[in-house]
Amino acid sequence: MKDLLQPRHRASLLRFVGEAHPERVLLAFDYDGVLAPLVREPSGAVMRPHTRRLLTRLGTRYPVAVVSGRAWRDTHRFVGDVVSTIVGNHGYELGRPLPVPAAVLRQVKAWRRTLERSLAGVPGVFFEDKRSTLAIHYGLTRAWRTSEARVYEAANRLSGTRLVPGKKVLNVLPASFPNKGDAVRALVAKLGCTGALYAGDDVTDEDVFEVGPPLVFGVHVGKGPSLAAWKIPTQDGVDELLELLVEARE
C-alpha cells in the first residue's frame, strides 16, 4: 500500500475524483475508526468538530455516503444529516432504516440466546444486538485473546451465519445478507456515478477493497495488511484526506 498523503501520490487521488475528467465520483467512508476515533466502548465516539465541518463541505461538492456495520439509526445518531446517504448493517439498510423480517428477528434472537449460554462467565464480552445482525465485542478486558478464542469457538457452532471479524468484535450476519462491497456497488449504480473512493479501517471493509479499480479507489486507514492500494497511517490523517478532496473541487 502507498501512503496517499505523501505529496508524490496526490496526483493519483486528483485524477480519480475528476480533476481532469468531470465524472461523478461517490465518496464513501466507514464511521468507526475512519470518521471518528476507534474507542474501546462499543457505543462508539463522536466525530471531531473539524471532521464534521469538512464532511459538510464535501456534501456540497460530491455525493457522500457513510457505510457502517452499525444499524442505520445508530449511525444516523452520530452522523445526522451531514451526508446524503447512510448505509447500516453492512449494507442491509441501504440509505434508510428497514424493517427486519420476522424470521430474521427470530434467528438473531436464537443466536444470541445460544451464545449467551456458551459464553456465560467469559470476561469482557458484550453483545450489540442490531436486530437484523449481532456483534459480539470481546475487548473489554486485558485477557481479550482468551475471550476471543471462546467467542469464535461458540460462533462457529451456529448455523446459517456469515461471520465477519472486526477489531475485537465478531459480527454475526444471516448468510443471505449483503456485504459492504455489495452496498458500494449498489450506490454507484443508484447514484449514476462512475466509481467510488472508499475509506475503511476494518476487516469488514475488505469486501469493498476487493472490488478494486477501476470501480473502487480503496483507502485503508491504520495499520495492518489490506487489499486496498492506498493507506492513511492513522485515523487523525483522515481530516487531511477530506481537505484534499474539498480542495480538488475548488
Residues taking part in catalysis: 30
All cell numbers assigned to 37: 476515533
Q: Are strands 169-174 and 134-137 parallel, antiparallel or unpaired?
A: antiparallel
Under 8 Å between Cβ of 222 and 33: yes
Closest by Cα among 67, 83, 63 to 17:
63
Under 8 Å between Cβ of 85 and 79: no
Cα pseudo-dihedral 65, 70, 76, 79, rounded to 10: -60
Could you give the CA distance from residue 250 to residue 242 in angstroms, rounded to a whole number? Answer: 13
Find residue 94's DSSP bridge partners: 87
